């Protein structure tokens, strides 16, 4: 079988409304820092690029930029 475990990380933030800082230390030695992001989101971070996509977790994980307002 060709399979893979889910690579997403989940952080329980209780009643917090934002994340002050996400710091990712990549195996290459690069460190990405993302400041002041919201909660209840799926965030895709690429090494050296920071956030490349955000999806609102509460609304069926739809990309934030395509969500109807």
Phi, psi of 50 (to 5 degrees): 75, -145
Q: Is 24 inside a domain boundary?
A: yes
Q: Is 28 inside a domain boundary?
A: yes
Into how many domains does the chain fold?
1
Q: Is 5 inside a domain boundary?
A: no
For residue 40, what pLDDT is reported?
A: 87
Name the residue with tokens 């909660």.
39
Q: Are 1 and 17 in contact (CB under 8 A)?
A: no
Mean pLDDT of the chain: 83
Mean pLDDT computed over 28-54: 93
Q: Is 13 inside a domain boundary?
A: no
Mean pLDDT computed over 41-64: 81
Q: Is 3 inside a domain boundary?
A: no
End-to-end CA distance of the chain: 42
Q: Is 4 inside a domain boundary?
A: no
Helices (H), the chain: none
- Domain enclosing residue 50, as ranges: 18-62
Q: Is 69 inside a domain boundary?
A: no
Percent of the chain, pLDDT > 90?
43
């Amino acid at each position: 079988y060709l399979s893979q475990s889910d690579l997403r990380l989940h952080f329980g933030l209780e009643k917090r409304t934002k994340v002050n800082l996400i710091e990712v230390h990549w195996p290459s030695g690069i460190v990405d820092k993302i400041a002041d992001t919201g909660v209840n989101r799926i965030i895709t971070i690429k090494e050296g690029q920071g956030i490349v996509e955000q999806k609102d977790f509460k609304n069926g994980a739809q990309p934030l930029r395509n969500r109807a307002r």
